[in-house]
A and B are shown apart, each in its own frame.
Chain A
Amino acid sequence: SVLTQPPSASGTPGQRVTISCSGSSSNIGSSNVYWYQQYPGMAPRLLIYMNDRRPSGIPDRFSGSKSGASASLAISGLRSEDEADYYCATWDDSLKVFGGGTKVTVL
């Protein structure tokens, strides 16, 4: 994948988990970052848009940030329902690129 994410992350309920997303100057470095959440067998859904904005209905436990050519998603107060796959995405010369995805496990 054009964007690099760790394949997995885990935490116990209540903990804070952070997922990194690394790109380059041609993608993350010059565009906004988006995060999508996907449960097994379900379609992805928008979690964070334009680096750090939450759509209505997304809990404030989810937060995004971007610095240079990297971005991160933080989940604070981890809950069992947060167990899912998380994908970062951005634009690279008008082409959409995704990270490989990070599977979050709640221990």
Chain B
Amino acid sequence: EVQLVQSGAEVKKPGESLKISCTASGYQFSGYWIAWVRQMPGQGLEWMGRFFPSNSQTQYSPAFQGQVTLSADNSINTAYLQWSALKASDTAMYYCARLSGICPNNVCSISTHWFDPWGQGTQVTVSS
């Protein structure tokens, strides 16, 4: 079974650093993009970016560029989302998800890829 398990809830103070994790099992970790999605309290889903463990290729949403860093450790099948200096506005639930998809006629396009499965989420609370 393909599964993503995220690290536990975090409570931090503004200005502190944080690294949360997403550990994959049931598939070849390095061969699939991992995406991160933010959900602020009572709000919708926002795509933050994606990371390809095989070659560390990274793409950030413009809204999150420079605000967070995506990385991974292939030796332990784990992807990371980190902040160097948290703000109160970073308080949210964060989800990781694997990019799954198909390549019709052996042509791979991002358009034929989707988020499945998802991790259970990591609640990050930033408060003084």
Binding site for B on A (CB under 8 A): 1, 30-32, 34, 36, 38, 43-46, 49-50, 55, 87, 89, 91, 94-101
Q: What residues of chain B lie closer than 8 Å to A89, measured between beta carbons?
A: 45, 114-115
Whether A94 lies near B110 (C-beta < 8 A) is: yes
Binding site for A on B (CB under 8 A): 35, 37, 44-47, 50, 59, 61-62, 95, 102, 110-121
Whether A46 lies near B45 (C-beta < 8 A) is: no
If over half of A's interface residues share one DSSP class (helix, strand or loop), that class is named, otherwise mixed; here it is strand
Residue of A nearest to B119 (CB): A43
CB distance from B33 to the nearest CB of A (A): 11
Whether A49 lies near B114 (C-beta < 8 A) is: yes
Whether B118 lies near A50 (C-beta < 8 A) is: no
A87 CA to B97 CA in the complex, in Å?
15
Residue of A34, A49, A50, A95 near B61 (CB, 8 A) is A95
A95 CA to B47 CA in the complex, in Å?
8
A3 CA to B25 CA in the complex, in Å?
32
Residue of A31, A97, A101 near B47 (CB, 8 A) is A97
Q: Which 7 A-B pairs have the closest CB atoms?
A: A96-B47, A46-B116, A31-B111, A101-B44, A43-B118, A98-B45, A49-B114
CB distance from A100 to the nearest CB of B (A): 5
Give the most central of B44, B61, B102, B114: most A CB within 10 Å.
B114
Give the most central of A32, A87, A96, A99: most B CB within 10 Å.
A96
Residue of B nearest to A34 (CB): B114
A36 CA to B45 CA in the complex, in Å?
10
Q: What residues of chain B lie closer than 8 Å to A49, measured between beta carbons?
A: 114, 116
A45 CA to B95 CA in the complex, in Å?
11
CB distance from B35 to the nearest CB of A (A): 7
A93 CA to B31 CA in the complex, in Å?
22
Whether A46 lies near B47 (C-beta < 8 A) is: no
Q: What residues of chain A lie closer than 8 Å to B116, measured between beta carbons?
A: 45-46, 49, 55
